Amino acid sequence: MKHTASVFGWPVRVYWEDTDAGGIVFYANYLKFFERARTEWLRSLGIGQQALRDATGGIFVVTDATLKYHRPARLDDALTVTARLTEAGRASITIVQQALSGNETTPAGDTLIHCEGTLRIGWVDAATLKPARMPQHLLEALK
């Protein structure tokens, strides 16, 4: 897998809290890793979610997730979690994310994928949780 400059990556270390009695990362926890990387991707665009909520009254809420679990990650693994925007509209955005092994490569030099997901995320009013139109400056910052 080759990364172009437009793919954001965030390092995530696997701790005891992330693992389960199977000795591997518990399947729900990739959604935590993905959320951390999305948050840091937004921060890299100048978007702090708490500040954004204070200013606009809106928050992001995931509406759809599709996940493929390719190979288990284990305690102490050093992962890179990516975030790549694939669609952006007034009501929602779509982001593709991967949890990649930071240590291992195949003989051909490829990065190994632990989990990948496609997340659709809506913009809602934080008080009512009803869908809302994304502020123009937010939409522009995303694109």
Q: Which residue type does 12 have?
A: V
Catalytic positions are 20
Q: How far is the CB of 70 from its own copies (least distance, A)?
A: 8
Q: Which parts of 18-110 are beta strand (E)?
A: 58-69, 78-88, 92-105
Q: List the x/- string, 44-83, binding to its own copies by CB under 8 A.
A: ----xxxx-------x-xxxxxxxxx--x-xxx-------
Binding of its own copies by 94 (CB under 8 A): no
Q: Which of 3, 7, 35, 96 binds its own copies (CB under 8 A)?
A: 35
Binding of its own copies by 108 (CB under 8 A): no
Q: Beta strand 78-88 with 92-105: parallel, antiparallel or unpaired?
A: antiparallel
- The alpha-carbon radius of gyration of the chain (Å, integer) is 16
Question: Under 8 Å CB-to-CB from 34, ≥6 apart: which residues?
Answer: 81, 83, 97, 99, 117, 119
Residue ranges that bind its own copies, judged by CB under 8 A: 13, 15-17, 19-24, 26-29, 31-32, 35-36, 39-40, 48-51, 59, 61-69, 72, 74-76, 126, 129
